[in-house]
Amino acid sequence: MRAEGKGKIPVFAIFLGVGGFVVIFSVFRLIGNRPTICKQTPDLFSATALETAANGFRVEYGRMPARGVTDIICRTDQDIPFLLALLGMEDGPDRLNTGSVKFLSVKEGKGKKGGLIYTEDGKSVAGLFDRWGGPFFVMLDLDGDGKVEIPNGPVLQRRTAVWTNGPDGKPGGGDDLKTW
So what's the pLDDT on residue 31?
Answer: 42
- For the chain, 180 residues long, the average pLDDT of each consecutive 10-residue run is 58 50 44 46 94 98 96 98 97 95 97 96 96 97 97 94 95 90
The Cα–Cα gap between 36 and 86 comes to: 30
CA 59 vs CA 55, 56, 108: distances in Å: 6, 5, 26
Reduced to 3 states, what is the DSSP secondary structure of residue 25?
A: helix
So what's the pLDDT on residue 4?
Answer: 56
So what's the pLDDT on residue 34?
Answer: 41
CA 54 vs CA 17, 71, 107, 143: distances in Å: 54, 13, 17, 15
So what's the pLDDT on residue 173?
Answer: 81
The Cα–Cα gap between 62 and 55 comes to: 10
CA atoms within 13 A on the CB side of 163: 21
So what's the pLDDT on residue 118?
Answer: 97
